[in-house]
Structure 1
Amino acid sequence: MKITKIFTFDSSHMLDGHDGKCRNLHGHTYKLEITVSDGLIQGGAKDGMVMDFADLKTIVQAEIINPFDHAFIYHGGNERESQIAALLDGWQMKTLRLPCRTTAENMAALMYGRLKNAGLNVCSVKLWETPTSCAEYEG
Structure 2
Amino acid sequence: MPTIRLTKEFAFEAAHFLQGYDGLCANIHGHSYRLFVTVIGQPSTDVASPKCGMLIDFGLLKQIVAERILSVLDHALMVRVGAVDGGVLAPYTRRLVELPFQPTCENLLPWIAARLAQSLPVGVSLFSLRLHETASSYAEWYAEEN
TM-score normalized by structure 1? 0.91
Conserved 8 A contact 1:88-1:94: no
The structure 1 residue matched to 2:22, chosen from 11, 19, 22, is: 19
2:114 maps to: 113
Are residue 135 (structure 1) and residue 139 (structure 2) matched?
Answer: yes
1:49 maps to: 54
Conserved 8 A contact 1:12-1:28: yes
Larger Rg: 2
Relative to structure 1, the CA distance from residue 27 to residue 91 in structure 2 (aligned partners, 3 Å threshold; closer, same or farther) is: closer
The structure 1 residue matched to 2:6, chosen from 3, 7, 15, is: 3
**Which 4+ residue blocks in structure 1 deviate beyond 6 angstroms?**
none
**What one-letter code is carried by the residue in structure 2 that aligns with 1:2?**
R
Identity %: 34
TM-score normalized by structure 2? 0.87
Task: Return 5+ residue gaps in structure 1 as ranges.
Answer: none
1:89 maps to: 90
Task: Return 5+ residue gaps in structure 2 as ranges.
Answer: none
Conserved 8 A contact 2:9-2:36: yes
Conserved 8 A contact 2:109-2:129: yes
How far did residue 2 of structure 1 move? 0.4
Report the number of matched residues: 135
Q: Deviations over 1:14-43 (max 9, x none)?
A: 001111110110000100000000001112
2:103 maps to: 102
